[in-house]
Amino acid sequence: MNIREMKLALTVDLMNLPDEIAPVATIQHSMSRFVSETGHFKGCKELETSILEGGIERKTIALQFENVTLDLDLITNEHSSEQLVKGFDLKENFA
């Protein structure tokens, strides 16, 4: 499995992401290009949420696939509904 190639593809897709498009949908679409390595999408799980000052929310969610898990750190402005990816971690699931 080429985790490095997947991380690079995700980074490029996020850099080219228009403001009006939700980053989670884009990331899920990006991962679909690697379905032979990642396996099928199993679901999404919220790991952590914290409220920052000024109506800003920080949330960590896990996109779970059969062979990998993608942890996303998202920053959401509750006033404008703008969502940004602060970072991500892609790790292989070991049985």
- The DSSP-derived string for the chain is --HHHHHHHHHHHHHT--TTS-HHHHHHHHHHTTHHHH-SEEEEEEEEEEEETTTEEEEEEEEEESSEEEEEEEEEETTT--EEEEEEEEEE---
- Tell me the pLDDT tens digit for each residue of 5-61: 889 988 888 888 776 677 888 888 888 888 999 999 999 999 999 998 888 999 999
Fold of 3-92: Nuclear Transport Factor 2; Chain: A, (3.10.450)
Q: What is the pTM of this model?
A: 0.84
